[in-house]
Structure 1
């Protein structure tokens, strides 16, 4: 899929929102990608996952033994990527503020992992998830996301493969332009900033 085709899927599902959003990272933006909307259609989710898997170089793709995603945003796309790769897909969650494996999910020592996210902005959630995976003995060999909001600037410490790189401007709490500050703030992310 081309970037234009991927963005067309976001537009068709009304997943590209405009307003004043406080992102999970704590930064502010006039745009928000609600990946849950683009993934609510199972066929669309499967198509996007297959396209994401095709972005992975063969040498990485053939090593992957498990897909791990951070809850909540990465769960659906992670599951579909696991299906496309024909490997198990599990997730980490933050019941007490720090990512951990629950629900009987675990890692084998040295297990090769693909971390899968819906959207990467600052990489904070991804790096926290990688830390949890490493603590359980897994080895993250690459990461994949539908959207890279950093336009290629984020560093996760592993290669990152995405369907779309977007650079919507984001602002720190003290940098919000007056026209954006005049709009009511929405906090659509799954993590409290």
Structure 2
């Protein structure tokens, strides 16, 4: 699978969606605008991102590392348990895991999977968004936890991080489907942005659109 967001009343105003260079346009977070991706910021200190230059248009997606054999038909929780790791194994998978972690680490696994699929869908959007996980993650104005290509530090020994790595591997290898389909936007249930988009599903604490 080609390697390939939104949330927060009372904390951060929605960020703006910025299209890929070919159709670049800034859109304000108001009714009738395209949706954006926002999330409450962490108080942890910022750590340097490891994705310099990955947002360039046409950047090739780094192939996923080999993952342990998983049984097709296994439940999502079984597969996550099998694929948990502190080490994502590649820069691209780490970017995907970072997105899952900061946007949905407190969500049920199905919610984390849905967020991972949104990032993947964006990377597969053929020009609308950057063509790599890292490019999608660091695209200007998309994820409010990313500032200047940097994000808060992650405790890579935590179970939440290891789960995020597992979800990233699952999304990248297309092991489990998510009921959000080709959704490329989402927001927290507690906000009402008034987007004029097709609502796809509601999973965990988020509502997804395409």
TM-score between both structures, scaled by the size of structure 1: 0.27
Higher relative contact order (CA 8 A, sep 6+): 2
TM-score between both structures, scaled by the size of structure 2: 0.25
Question: Which structure dedicates a bigger proportion of its chain to strand?
Answer: 1
